Chain A
């Protein structure tokens, strides 16, 4: 029996009819067409399918779409705004942190969850935050560099914002 669910994805509310045995990864990719979320190992080992669920990064391959009913989800497509790419996305490009690109969405979403809580993370904090996301191109150094760069940009933007308000 299909279930009616409501998902808020990147700020847009979707009413969907889904079979209970479909994962959130499948529904995001196939029903919503948001293919930035990657389907990798499918058993929670690689992190390619990372999405942010109610503020916390999770493996969307280990979540049934019906379990996400009523929850708020951010995928990689939700990061850029009309002004341009998110600082993390820009930094991944400028720092050369993207090789094949398959892990990138998940890396960036795990990093975003970290920066949402801590704008001055150590390299150890960064490594810890992305430790559930595997890169098989062996590119971790540049990924950590990019997140460090983005952290500074995010922190300076925040500082600038509060300065102009003050």
Chain B
């Protein structure tokens, strides 16, 4: 399986990257971790005339956390392994670390980047639900300037995002989760590694001082053309205490909100049942984490 011919650029600055994208438009492809792009090029699914590698642009490789108040900023080239292993991300943005840990294999995670996982816009992608739950904002830059789009608005459908050919995803910014919050990411597949989810569910909950749920986000993956929020599940949760009945009702609402298709990995009916089961479990898991005495968001 040989790669087609292309020219290769590895600029040292962001400006040079943006100039190349501006000059070549959709003829150029951005090479980040390469775990999707090179596979698609080998299979003949895409045939860019030129690759722009981001490996030498320092600012795209950085993770910054500014203590308990400052949120989190991830450069587009930060790898899944770096996210999964990062102490501060595991502690305060645990739902994202959980997802990064479940992507691909250890070998893939050492290369695959957060920017790549966004831009490829797969409906089953592991990072999308957690980023939507965390209210992440995605920064896009081109030669004329930059804009920020919420993770929820970034995806349009399978393989489609709001990114224009001359734009580069440079950074993901995440504010601190609400106080007394906990998150859970659950992925169901036939095997544990190198698996594309049959269904994945992300839940982020914040608990009020009165012990009811004050904030809820529920995101469902692989059950629609893109990862979607279940607004009805969220509505069911907010203002209620997370008892068995509330969790059950929310899980049913999530199953009703999704629109899965039947494919090689599972039937629509099976997926809908999985959404109900996984949403229930993820809510319980998130509640347990929110209530945990070691919960770092108690400090906020």
A contact set with B: CB distance below 8 Å: 1, 3, 19-23, 42-45, 47, 50, 53, 56-59, 62-64, 66-67, 69, 110, 128-129, 131-133
B6–A44 touching, CB < 8 Å: no
Known A47-B105, A59-B107; judge A42-B42 contact (CB<8 A).
Answer: yes
Give Cα distance in the complex from A64 to B3, angstroms. 10
A-B contact pairs, 12 of them (CB 8 A): A21-B3, A21-B6, A22-B3, A23-B38, A43-B39, A43-B43, A62-B111, A63-B38, A67-B53, A128-B106, A132-B105, A133-B107
Contact among A1, A62, A63 with B39 in the assembled complex (CB-CB below 8 Å):
A62
Does B216 reach chain A (CB closer than 8 Å)? Answer: no
**Which A residues touch B5, using CB under 8 A?**
19, 21
A117 CB to closest chain B CB, in angstroms?
A: 10
Does B212 reach chain A (CB closer than 8 Å)? Answer: no
Contact with A along B264-292 (1 / 0, CB 8 A): 00000000000000000000000000000
Q: Which 6 A-B pairs have the closest CB atoms?
A: A132-B105, A20-B8, A131-B193, A132-B107, A21-B3, A56-B110
Does B2 reach chain A (CB closer than 8 Å)? Answer: yes
Does B81 reach chain A (CB closer than 8 Å)? Answer: yes
Does B34 reach chain A (CB closer than 8 Å)? Answer: yes
B39 CB to closest chain A CB, in angstroms?
A: 5
A47–B107 touching, CB < 8 Å: yes
A43 CB to closest chain B CB, in angstroms?
A: 5
Give Cα distance in the complex from A72 to B8, angstroms. 21
**Which B residues touch A43, using CB under 8 A?**
1, 39, 42-43
Give Cα distance in the complex from A21 to B39, angstroms. 12
Does B7 reach chain A (CB closer than 8 Å)? Answer: yes
Known A62-B35, A66-B10, A67-B53; judge A44-B3 contact (CB<8 A).
Answer: no
Give Cα distance in the complex from A130 to B7, angstroms. 34
B111–A20 touching, CB < 8 Å: no
B4–A21 touching, CB < 8 Å: yes
**Which A residues touch B43, using CB under 8 A?**
43
Contact among B4, B31, B55, B81 with A56 in the assembled complex (CB-CB below 8 Å):
B81
Contact with A along B50-61 (1 / 0, CB 8 A): 010101000000
- For A1, give the chain B residue with the smallest CB separation: B7
Does B239 reach chain A (CB closer than 8 Å)? Answer: no
- For B41, give the chain A residue with the smallest CB separation: A21
Does B104 reach chain A (CB closer than 8 Å)? Answer: yes
B28 CB to closest chain A CB, in angstroms?
A: 13
- For B53, give the chain A residue with the smallest CB separation: A67
Does B46 reach chain A (CB closer than 8 Å)? Answer: no
Does B162 reach chain A (CB closer than 8 Å)? Answer: no
A57–B35 touching, CB < 8 Å: no
Does B91 reach chain A (CB closer than 8 Å)? Answer: no
B111 CB to closest chain A CB, in angstroms?
A: 6
Give Cα distance in the complex from A153 to B292, angstroms. 40
A146 CB to closest chain B CB, in angstroms?
A: 18
A129–B7 touching, CB < 8 Å: no
Give Cα distance in the complex from A44 to B111, angstroms. 11
Most buried by A among B31, B35, B55, B106: B106
**Which B residues touch A19, using CB under 8 A?**
5
Contact with A along B9-41 (1 / 0, CB 8 A): 010000000000000000000010011001100
Known A44-B39, A67-B34; judge A21-B2 contact (CB<8 A).
Answer: yes
Not counting A44-B39, A131-B194, a sample of 19 additional A-B residue pairs whose C-beta atoms are within 8 angstroms of each other reads: A19-B5, A20-B8, A22-B3, A42-B1, A43-B1, A43-B43, A56-B81, A57-B107, A57-B110, A59-B107, A62-B35, A63-B38, A64-B51, A128-B106, A129-B106, A131-B105, A131-B106, A132-B104, A133-B107
**Which A residues touch B119, using CB under 8 A?**
none
- For A42, give the chain B residue with the smallest CB separation: B1
